[in-house]
């Protein structure tokens, strides 16, 4: 039976992208389940990404892996330097308005105008 690193190399070639290598190594050290929990995603998503057969937004998965497993940060106009996955989470929340607290309203406005946010995510009606 092949481990995560061999599975990734079989799917992505001898030199997979750096974030795929990091994902595969993390799965080899612990398990796909544990890595998936750290990423806030399902184990099946991790498995299909390693196998190169994920049909969803691969760029979003890459951003998540880079934030959680590779400690990538981004400059947020509202919060300063934050982990990439925190930015991703705020952008997802900003797809719909919820005035539940001042921070959520502030981030809704900031994310709508942020260049990191995709155009389709900015075109939300309030």
User: What are 66-82's pLDDT values in tens digits?
Assistant: 999 999 999 999 999 99
pLDDT at 117: 83
Round the average pLDDT of the chain to a whole number and report it.
91
4-68 CATH choice from 1.20.1050, 2.60.40, 1.10.260, 1.20.120: 1.10.260
pLDDT at 122: 44
pLDDT at 124: 45
Rounded Cα distance, 81 and 120, in Å: 24
User: What are 9-44's pLDDT values in tens digits?
Assistant: 999 999 999 999 999 999 999 999 999 999 999 999
| Contact of 64 with 88, CB cutoff 8 Å | yes
What predicted TM-score, i.e. pTM, was given to this entire model? Answer: 0.84
User: Greatest CA span in the chain, whole angstroms?
Assistant: 52
Distances in whole angstroms, Cα of residue 96 to Cα of each of 44, 45, 120? 27, 25, 12
pLDDT at 119: 57
* Nearest residue to 91 (alpha-carbon basis) of 118, 61, 71: 118
Three-class DSSP labels, 71-111: CCEEEECCCEEEEHHHHHHHHHHCCCCCCCCHHHHHHHHHH
Helix, strand, or coil (residue 11): helix
Spans of all domains in the chain: 4-68, 73-122
């Amino acid at each position: 039976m092949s481990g995560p690193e061999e599975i990734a190399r079989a799917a992505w070639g001898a030199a997979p992208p750096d974030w795929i290598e990091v994902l595969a190594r993390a799965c080899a050290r612990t398990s796909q389940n544990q890595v998936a929990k750290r990423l806030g995603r399902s184990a099946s998503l991790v498995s299909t990404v390693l196998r190169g057969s994920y049909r969803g937004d691969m760029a979003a998965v890459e951003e998540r892996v880079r934030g959680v497993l590779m400690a990538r940060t981004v400059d947020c106009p509202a919060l300063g330097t934050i982990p990439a996955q925190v930015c991703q989470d705020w952008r997802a929340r900003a797809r719909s308005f919820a005035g539940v607290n001042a921070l959520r309203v502030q981030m809704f406005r900031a994310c709508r105008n942020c260049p990191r946010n995709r155009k389709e995510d900015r075109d939300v009606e309030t």
